[in-house]
């Protein structure tokens, strides 16, 4: 295809997968234009490394958006741009913007893409379905094809070149106002940005292993501690640690599931992990079907042995 756009809603720091949408865009189109929503020019400067041209919509500092105003402003500009595909990260403003843009531009939309391929009939997008148990291939015939990209599914490309930056004028007024936001204080690395996640389930038997063995292992590996819903429901850890379909979807390099059976709702949240290690004392636990490395045994012996080996080998 001739031209694609990537929308970068850089309103908050460390939005997971923010730059990864440039990878599929670059593989699809000869020309990639970046549309950056951000209060500072920094994000536009960074986007200039990935795109031939950057259109920067300056947004007021600290203001939260739900997407309608941005969809009107960007939609008008993108209609003139004439792109065949628009890619943006899943989650947050990206998920709110995508369907609004598709509707305004009379295009098509699909979310959570893990693969994209241009064909003679349109854009074919691969995405997980049934909580990650299967993959669907969806053909988008109406242009532009608006696609949100699942964080962790693509590697952000290396920055190359330096596209021009032009500022987009116009109002970003929203009908719906976000009255305030309060940061939920979480210790350490956020789950969805951690390179390693060590999660505990009902099998760890109580809150103590989360504060001791699991935390020590996560700290040694530079990662974060997560949990299954069962551990959250038991009151052992904060709901902020829940991984899964109704918790956080994580995409670390290594996911270590400790005393977690591997219910489909839990596995749905770890399908983007590069490697899954399962530690479970039942060899029949379903988690072993999705694990790259499985250790059958009691976590009380396995985790201290792992910690010891890591300490000995630096
Ligand atoms: C609508 C809906 C949404 C849901 N969303 C989520 C979600 O987002 N996230 C989520 O996690 N769940 C979710 N669930 C719940 C899910 O179905 C499971 O009930 C839950 O994941 C089970 O948690 P678990 O694996 O920790 O516990 P269990 O299934 O009880 O598994 C415990 C495991 O620990 C092992 N074990 C026991 N002792 C040891 C030991 N000493 N050493 C090693 N292993 C040991 C056991 O063999 C067992 O496999 C959802 C359910 C529903 C219906």
Domain that holds residue 76: 3-167
* Mean pLDDT of all residues in 184-212: 89
Give Rg (Cα) of the chain. 21
pLDDT of residue 152: 83
pLDDT of residue 129: 82
Last residue of a domain, one of 134, 167, 200: 167
Asked whether residue 155 falls in the same domain as residue 269, the answer is no
Is any ligand 1 atom within 6 A of the Cβ of residue 230? yes
Give the tens place of pLDDT for each residue, 35-69: 999 888 999 999 999 999 999 998 877 666 667 88
Both structure tokens of 184: 């939920």
Ligand 1 closest atom vs CA 260:
25
pLDDT of residue 9: 86
pLDDT of residue 177: 63
Order across the sheet with 53-58: list the strands: 108-113, 145-149, 85-89, 3-9, 31-38, 53-58, 164-167
Neighbours of 44 (CB within 10 A): 25
Q: Structural domain tally of the chain?
A: 2
- Please say if the pLDDT value at position 5 is more than 90: yes
Considering only CA atoms, which residue is closest to atom 4 of ligand 1? Answer: 265
List the single range of 25-29, 143-147, 172-176, 302-306 with lowest mean pLDDT: 172-176
Asked whether residue 211 falls in the same domain as residue 84, the answer is no
- Please say if the pLDDT value at position 1 is more than 90: yes
* Mean pLDDT of all residues in 225-246: 94
- Which of 145, 140, 167 lies closest to 88 in space, CA to CA? 145
- Please say if the pLDDT value at position 252 is more than 90: yes
pLDDT band at 12 (very low <50, low <70, confident <90, very high): low
Asked whether residue 298 falls in the same domain as residue 207, the answer is yes
Give the start-end residues of each E strand in 252-297: 254-258, 275-280, 293-296
The percentage of the chain sitting over the pLDDT mark of 90, rounded to a whole number, equals: 70
Both structure tokens of 195: 């390179």
Is any ligand 1 atom within 6 A of the Cβ of residue 285? yes
CA 262–ligand 1 middle distance (angstroms): 6
pLDDT of residue 169: 86
C-alpha 160/C-alpha 167 separation (Å) is: 21
Asked whether residue 134 falls in the same domain as residue 240, the answer is no
Asked whether residue 23 falls in the same domain as residue 157, the answer is yes
pLDDT of residue 94: 84
Both structure tokens of 166: 């032009």
Give the tens place of pLDDT for each residue, 77-99: 999 999 999 999 887 788 889 99
Residue 184 lies in a domain: no
Asked whether residue 28 falls in the same domain as residue 163, the answer is yes
Sign of CA dihedral 131, 134, 135, 141: negative
- Please say if the pLDDT value at position 222 is more than 70: yes
Asked whether residue 15 falls in the same domain as residue 155, the answer is yes
Neighbours of 181 (CB within 10 A): 9
pLDDT band at 174 (very low <50, low <70, confident <90, very high): low
What does pTM read for this prediction?
0.63
Give the CATH number, domain containing residue 41.
3.40.50.620
Residue 176 lies in a domain: no
- Please say if the pLDDT value at position 214 is more than 80: yes
Region for residue 62 given its phi and psi (left: phi exceeds 0; alpha: psi -120 to 50; beta: otherwise): left
275 within 8 A of 260, measured Cβ to Cβ:
no
Is any ligand 1 atom within 6 A of the Cβ of residue 280? yes
Give the tens place of pLDDT for each residue, 111-167: 999 999 999 999 999 998 876 678 999 999 999 999 999 888 898 888 887 889 999
Is any ligand 1 atom within 6 A of the Cβ of residue 295? no
Residue 103 lies in a domain: yes
Which residues are bridge partners to 312 per DSSP?
Answer: none
Asked whether residue 140 falls in the same domain as residue 16, the answer is yes
Residue 178 lies in a domain: no
Asked whether residue 105 falls in the same domain as residue 242, the answer is no
Residue 256 lies in a domain: yes
Residue 303 lies in a domain: yes
Give the tens place of pLDDT for each residue, 289-304: 999 999 999 999 999 9
21 within 8 A of 111, measured Cβ to Cβ:
no
Both structure tokens of 309: 């080996």
Asked whether residue 152 falls in the same domain as residue 76, the answer is yes
Tell which wins on pLDDT, 75 or 13.
Answer: 75
Is any ligand 1 atom within 6 A of the Cβ of residue 88? no
Is any ligand 1 atom within 6 A of the Cβ of residue 246? yes
Q: What is the mean pLDDT of the chain?
A: 90
Identify the H or E element spanning 305: helix 299-312
pLDDT of residue 65: 65
291 within 8 A of 277, measured Cβ to Cβ:
yes
The runs of H, that is alpha helices, within 204-252 are 208-211, 213-220, 229-233
180, exposed or middle or buried, with CB in 10 Å at 0-12, 13-18, 19+?
exposed
Considering only CA atoms, which residue is closest to atom 26 of ligand 1? Answer: 201
């Amino acid at each position: 295809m001739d031209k694609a756009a990537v929308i970068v809603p850089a309103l908050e720091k460390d939005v997971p997968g923010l730059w990864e949408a440039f990878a599929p865009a670059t593989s699809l189109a000869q020309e990639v234009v970046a549309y950056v929503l951000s209060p500072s020019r920094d994000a536009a400067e960074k986007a200039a490394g990935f795109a031939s041209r950057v259109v920067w919509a300056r947004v007021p500092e600290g203001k939260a958006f739900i997407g309608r105003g941005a969809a009107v402003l960007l939609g008008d500009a993108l209609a003139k741009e004439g792109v065949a595909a628009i890619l943006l990260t899943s989650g947050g403003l990206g998920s709110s913007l995508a369907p609004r843009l598709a509707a305004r531009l009379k295009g098509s939309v699909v979310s959570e893409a893990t693969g994209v391929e241009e064909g003679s009939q349109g854009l074919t997008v691969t995405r997980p379905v049934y909580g990650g148990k299967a993959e669907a291939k969806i053909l988008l015939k109406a242009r532009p094809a608006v696609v949100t990209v699942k964080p962790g599914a693509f590697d952000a490309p290396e920055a190359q070149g330096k596209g021009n930056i032009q500022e987009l004028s116009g109002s970003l007024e929203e009908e719906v106002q976000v009255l305030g936001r309060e940061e939920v204080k979480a210790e350490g690395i956020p789950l969805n940005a951690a390179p390693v996640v060590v999660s505990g389930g009902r099998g760890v038997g109580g809150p103590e292993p989360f504060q001791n063995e699991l935390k020590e292992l996560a700290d040694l590996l530079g990662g974060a501690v997560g949990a299954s819903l069962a551990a959250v429901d038991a009151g052992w850890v904060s709901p902020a640690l829940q991984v899964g379909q109704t918790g956080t979807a994580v995409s670390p390099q290594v996911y270590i599931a400790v005393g977690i059976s591997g219910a489909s709702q839990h596995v749905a949240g770890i399908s983007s992990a590069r490697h899954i290690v399962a530690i479970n004392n039942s060899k029949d636990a379903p988690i072993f079907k999705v694990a790259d490395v499985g250790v059958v045994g009691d976590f009380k012996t396995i985790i201290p042995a792992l910690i010891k080996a890591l300490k000995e080998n630096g």
